[in-house]
Amino acid sequence: MCCSELANEAVYSGFPNSEKTVLRLLASGQSLFGTAADLLGVSRGGAQNARANLVSSGDVIDSQGRLQVADPVLADWIRRRLPDPCGAIGWSAASLTLAVEEAADGGGRRDRLGR
């Protein structure tokens, strides 16, 4: 493992779990409140608090109305080390929604009367 890999690992491991999750979401271009956030198990309040802490510490910046990881080397390391949670399993928000809806209605098996 190269020096920069170890350095990025050390930096990343110093963040609390909710902040790690927000960094991962931002580095992969995902919403803090979307499918990927749900898959990673971050609550809306946890994401908001982590975002506020990361912005306050300068680890996340607002670039033209879009939040991003301030250190591009760390962001690249996160993308390489921790793949996009939706892309890694081939799910899109639409396919996840469809799967949830099908599960809720018993797999989509209904008779002509909707039962």
3 is written with which tokens?
Answer: 């020096």
pLDDT of residue 115: 45
Domain-embedded: residue 79? yes
pLDDT of residue 84: 80
**Domain span at residue 69?**
3-83
Give the residue from 72, 76, 73, 69 showing the smallest Cα distance to 50: 69
Torsion, Cα of 107, 109, 110, 115 (10° steps):
-50
pLDDT of residue 101: 52
Domain-embedded: residue 25? yes
Distances (CA, A) of 15 to 19, 22, 53, 70, 90: 6, 10, 10, 14, 28
Phi, psi of 59 (to 5 degrees): -80, -20
- What digits encode the pLDDT tens for the residues 72-115? 999 999 999 987 877 754 544 444 444 445 555 555 544 444 44
Stated pTM of the model? 0.73
- Give 48's pLDDT tier (boundaries 50, 70, 90): very high
Q: Which CATH number covers residue 37?
A: 1.10.10
